[in-house]
Amino acid sequence: MSFVAQWDPKALWGHFDTLLTIPRGSKEEQRIREYVLSVASRQGLEVQVDATGNVVVRKPASPGREGAAITVLQSHLDMVNEKNADVEHDFSRDPIQPRLEGEYLTAQGTTLGADNGIGVAAMLAILEDRTLVHGPLELLFTVDEETGLTGARGLDGSMLRGRRLLNLDSEEEGTVTVGCAGGADTEIFLPLETLPAPSRAQAYQVQLSGLHGGHSGLDIHLQRGNAIQLLARMLHSVRPGTPGYMAAFEGGNKHNAIPREARATVVIPEGQAAEFLRHMDNEFARVWEEYRRVEPDMRLEVSEGPPPPKIWSTDSAWTVFRLLVALPHGVAAMSHDIAGLVETSSNLAVVRTEGETLRVLTSSRSAVASALEWIRSKIRAVALLAGARVEEHEGYPGWKPDVDSPLLKLFQEVHRRVTGTEARVVAVHAGLECGIIGEKVPGMDMISFGPQIEFPHSPRERVKVASVERFYRLLTALLEEMATR
């Protein structure tokens, strides 16, 4: 037992202390699931596990509250296993070592697993508490949230009878989350016409780098540069008639990251390189001027490289530039319901030259299903205009904010009473399990809230200790209030 087991609320921290000793990386939830099942069976509660490994524990209402509507509580069982390079730690075996750092609990060089371990521990505490006043509860523990929400995706929605859900996976005290974005990727395959490279020519590698990048959803509103689009724009703007042939274009590496780097292979006839390089320098200077505040470290580097066997035809090169310049990137629409929230966006994420094909990956997001379709149809239209083939991957649904939700109103009342402050209503431009659960269980009224957790998914992850007690008090007060309706 570690020092955290002594903290209040004891039931919650006691379970969290045990969680620190149970390996629970994504897709390795076997042991943590057994722990949840053992706690439930000690209480004699009914449990159900679906084919994906998600668990529902049913806890009957406290005496006299049987008539209240069912409330679903939800947290995910898995955590992100990350450690500092200089730390010896085997996540499949070693317990996480908690460390108190001022008013925060953190771990020794590893992630702490407060995301979403505090939520899991709170639910286990509620499950065991015989004095709490509440209506009928369904406690849903999902698996594998952190690597693509696959637990929620595989959820058997028929396990849930309740139609109001409290997700406990939020990380900012004082806020309540009421929406998230859905997302879907589109792949574009553009055929390239190639020719033998000219013999008296020099090949250059033109590289744009030093951009910030960031998360394609959570950082898209920052309007940082997209290396792919900016390099394509510079090459596209180089005055027609300037000598040079394209032979390759590459950039980006993940669908959910804004590309930080892009490079092109350009072949220039002997004696004409200086003119091309001067044009590129001018174009870079113009772009840098536009982006200098957000991308001060952006740089363009040109180096001589080995000559490629083939070059693209002039028509193909123009088509590539036009495609990359025309594809949407960035914020496409802001929410009308929540000020400052990005509703729809797209990320021009990855470009690769694969033989005679240019492959482009884009990733789009929206809280509104029809708007996601709209931005994807725009991408498809641009690609088809360029003569490319399009593959649209299956996406995941968003959660459109419902600012008139009865559950939200109730939460706001209880929040005001318990904390003396107004809860800030927010939505995130990224995927959450609620988006998927809402699709699996139509008519589910949902909100998400939690304690103050900072730097999740990194070895700096920490939870503000006092916020956990306040979170639990808020949660139990809310359950008590919900037991009356």
Per CB under 5 A, which region of 36-44, 165-173, 383-391, 407-415 contacts Zn ion? 165-173
CA separation for the pair 330, 146 (Å, rounded):
24
| Bridge partners, 257 (sequence order) | 215
Per CB under 5 A, which region of 62-70, 107-115, 148-156, 358-366 contacts Zn ion? 107-115
Per CB under 5 A, which region of 36-44, 116-124, 159-167, 209-217 contacts Zn ion? 116-124
Alpha-carbon distances, residue 220 vs 85, 175, 215, 347 (angstroms): 29, 21, 7, 8
CA separation for the pair 214, 211 (Å, rounded):
9
By CB under 5 A, name the one of 106, 116, 142, 226 that touches Zn ion.
116
How many other C-beta atoms can be found within 10 angstroms of the C-beta atom of residue 421? Answer: 10
User: Which one of the listed residues 78, 138, 173, 295 is annotated catalytic?
Assistant: 78
Positions in 45-104 near Zn ion (CB under 5 A): none
Answer whether the bond into residue 9 is a cis peptide, omega within 30°.
yes
CA separation for the pair 439, 396 (Å, rounded):
9
Q: Which is nearer to Zn ion, 116 or 316 (CB)?
A: 116
Pairing of strands 299-305, 194-196: unpaired
Q: Which is nearer to Zn ion, 24 or 263 (CB)?
A: 24
Rounded to a whole number of angstroms, the minimum distance from the CB of residue 151 to Zn ion is 11
Q: Which is nearer to Zn ion, 169 or 283 (CB)?
A: 169
Q: Which is nearer to Zn ion, 116 or 216 (CB)?
A: 116
Q: Which is nearer to Zn ion, 80 or 125 (CB)?
A: 80
Rounded to a whole number of angstroms, the minimum distance from the CB of residue 119 to Zn ion is 8
Q: From edge to edge, which strands make up the β-sheet containing 55-59?
A: 46-49, 55-59, 137-142, 71-76, 164-167, 445-448, 175-180, 424-428
CA 218, 221, 226, 229 dihedral sign is positive
CA separation for the pair 266, 307 (Å, rounded):
9
Rounded to a whole number of angstroms, the minimum distance from the CB of residue 455 to Zn ion is 13
Rounded to a whole number of angstroms, the minimum distance from the CB of residue 130 to Zn ion is 29
Rounded to a whole number of angstroms, the minimum distance from the CB of residue 161 to Zn ion is 25
- DSSP assignment letter at 479: H
252's torsion region: left (phi>0), alpha (psi -120 to 50) or beta?
A: left
H or E stretch covering 166 = strand 164-167
Q: Which is nearer to Zn ion, 138 or 169 (CB)?
A: 169
Asked if residue 115 binds Zn ion (CB under 5 A), the reply is yes
Return phi, psi of residue 188, to 5°.
-120, 130
Rounded to a whole number of angstroms, the minimum distance from the CB of residue 115 to Zn ion is 4
For the chain, what is the total number of helices (H) and then of strands (E)? Answer: 11, 23
User: Which one of the listed residues 29, 115, 129, 145 is annotated catalytic?
Assistant: 145
Positions in 378-397 near Zn ion (CB under 5 A): none
Site map 196..235 versus Zn ion, x via CB under 5 A: ----------------------------------------
Rounded to a whole number of angstroms, the minimum distance from the CB of residue 24 to Zn ion is 12
Q: Which is nearer to Zn ion, 114 or 203 (CB)?
A: 114
Q: Which is nearer to Zn ion, 111 or 116 (CB)?
A: 116
Rounded to a whole number of angstroms, the minimum distance from the CB of residue 145 to Zn ion is 6
Site map 166..195 versus Zn ion, x via CB under 5 A: ---x--------------------------
Q: From edge to edge, which strands make up the β-sheet containing 462-464?
A: 98-101, 104-107, 462-464, 453-454
Cβ atoms 91, 438 nearer than 8 A: no
Per CB under 5 A, which region of 80-88, 111-119, 205-213, 395-403 contacts Zn ion? 111-119
Q: Which is nearer to Zn ion, 153 or 352 (CB)?
A: 153
Kindly state the number of chain residues that form the binding site for Zn ion, as judged by CB under 5 A: 3
Rounded to a whole number of angstroms, the minimum distance from the CB of residue 76 to Zn ion is 6
Per CB under 5 A, which region of 164-172, 207-215, 262-270, 361-369 contacts Zn ion? 164-172
- 356 labelled catalytic: no
- 94 labelled catalytic: no
Answer whether the bond into residue 116 is a cis peptide, omega within 30°.
yes
Token reading at 436: 């998927």
Per CB under 5 A, which region of 26-34, 90-98, 110-118, 281-289 contacts Zn ion? 110-118
Asked if residue 283 binds Zn ion (CB under 5 A), the reply is no
CA separation for the pair 43, 128 (Å, rounded):
7
148's torsion region: left (phi>0), alpha (psi -120 to 50) or beta?
A: left
- Which residues have a catalytic role annotated? 78, 145
Contact set with Zn ion (CB under 5 A): 115-116, 169
